[in-house]
């Protein structure tokens, strides 16, 4: 029997330089897709997967992120007084149970592995999830929930996986596949951001993980890896030889790289089109500009 996964780490300490100047004062995770901040998508996905404890690894300047998860008594009172029940209900879905969120500060930007290691005392000896809010995944069943279900069969360590264009391997952790079982692969190696020439495959790690607590111990020992940073990929790779093993899970759903401007814009359009209140206007507009573009050719 695998132990239930009830804790998740959200590494949110990054400076978000790709979105400057916006990120001068707005944490990247508060940037909105339609009307919900990126972090809300990550939290909703975690909740759907049964996560009860939410651990944010933050840094300087992320105050707005902490405030976002606080109750907003004045705003709520105003909405109540005006009888805006729909808005009130929507706001309430963002409230978190007291004590469910913990914030840990990452004092130095030493990489994703280091950020996760900063949360080690709160994880203690339980399996845990890691969600990178930059990777937004739309799907009928939320990605982490799919993984939790698969993990109940395998135990060990599991990473979300997706085929990427071969020339993109240098942007991802890449899996060396030992056995391919279709929706799941067993992994015999993992490399962080290999150039296309040496990449063992084009099966990339996407920002959802279910990890054994021993990964946190491995993080004590891994050397600095790609980019001079302490890499989570290297600490997971150290698990491959253990009896627990490492699995890649090909999730069902569409992933948007909201760490890039183009990915963010694509997600905005896709999530806009998915909304009943916006679909008609937005698709008419998109249709118009696309046909105008064609006419100009």
Please, which residue, 37 or 259, has the CB nearer to ligand G1P? 259
Is residue 35 within 8 Å of 79, Cβ to Cβ? Answer: no
Please, which residue, 9 or 79, has the CB nearer to ligand G1P? 9
CA distance 45 to 58: 19
Give the gyration radius of the chain's Cα atoms: 20
* CA–CA distances in Å: residue 288 to residues 264, 291, 292, 293: 21, 5, 6, 9
Please state the closest distance from residue 82 (CB atom) to ligand G1P, in A: 42
CA distance 130 to 109: 18
Please state the closest distance from residue 231 (CB atom) to ligand G1P, in A: 6
Instruction: Please identify the residue of the shown chain whose CB is closest to the bound ligand G1P.
Output: 173
Please, which residue, 30 or 235, has the CB nearer to ligand G1P? 235
Please state the closest distance from residue 151 (CB atom) to ligand G1P, in A: 19
Which residues, 6+ apart, have CB-to-CB distance to 274 below 8 Å? 138
Please state the closest distance from residue 228 (CB atom) to ligand G1P, in A: 13
Counting Cα atoms < 13 Å in the Cβ hemisphere of 78 gives 5
SS3 213: coil
Please state the closest distance from residue 254 (CB atom) to ligand G1P, in A: 14
Please, which residue, 53 or 135, has the CB nearer to ligand G1P? 135
Please, which residue, 45 or 192, has the CB nearer to ligand G1P? 192
Tokens of 50: 């049964």
Please state the closest distance from residue 10 (CB atom) to ligand G1P, in A: 13
Please, which residue, 92 or 166, has the CB nearer to ligand G1P? 166
Cα 36-258-166 angle, rounded to 5 deg: 155
What does the binding site for ligand G1P look like in residue numbers (CB under 6 A)?
112, 132, 135, 172-173, 192, 204-207, 232-233, 259
């Amino acid at each position: 029997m695998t132990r239930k996964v009830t804790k998740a780490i959200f590494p949110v300490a990054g400076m978000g330089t790709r979105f400057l100047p916006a990120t001068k004062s707005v944490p990247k995770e508060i940037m909105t897709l339609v009307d919900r901040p990126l972090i809300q998508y990550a939290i909703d996905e975690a909740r759907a997967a049964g996560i009860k404890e939410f651990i944010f690894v933050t840094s300087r300047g992320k105050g707005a992120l902490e405030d976002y998860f606080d109750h907003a008594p004045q705003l709520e009172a105003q909405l109540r007084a005006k009888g805006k029940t729909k808005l009130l209900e929507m706001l309430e879905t963002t409230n978190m149970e007291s004590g469910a969120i913990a914030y840990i500060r990452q004092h130095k930007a030493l990489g994703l592995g280091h950020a996760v290691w900063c949360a080690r005392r709160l994880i203690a000896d339980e399996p845990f999830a890691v969600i990178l809010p930059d990777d937004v995944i739309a799907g009928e069943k939320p990605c982490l929930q799919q993984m939790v279900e698969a993990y109940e069969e395998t135990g060990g360590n599991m990473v979300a996986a997706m085929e990427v264009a071969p020339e993109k391997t240098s942007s991802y952790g890449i899996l060396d596949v030992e056995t391919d079982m279709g929706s799941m692969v067993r992994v015999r190696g993992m490399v962080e951001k290999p150039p296309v020439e040496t990449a063992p495959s084009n099966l990339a790690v996407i920002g959802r993980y279910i990890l054994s607590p021993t990964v946190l111990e491995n993080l004590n020992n891994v050397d600095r890896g790609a980019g001079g940073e302490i890499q989570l990929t290297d600490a997971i790779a150290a698990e491959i030889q253990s009896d627990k093993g490492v699995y890649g899970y090909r999730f069902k759903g569409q992933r948007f790289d909201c760490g890039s401007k183009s990915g963010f814009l694509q997600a905005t359009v896709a999530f806009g089109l998915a909304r009943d209140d916006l679909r008609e206007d937005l698709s008419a507009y998109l249709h118009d500009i696309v046909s105008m573009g064609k006419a100009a050719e």
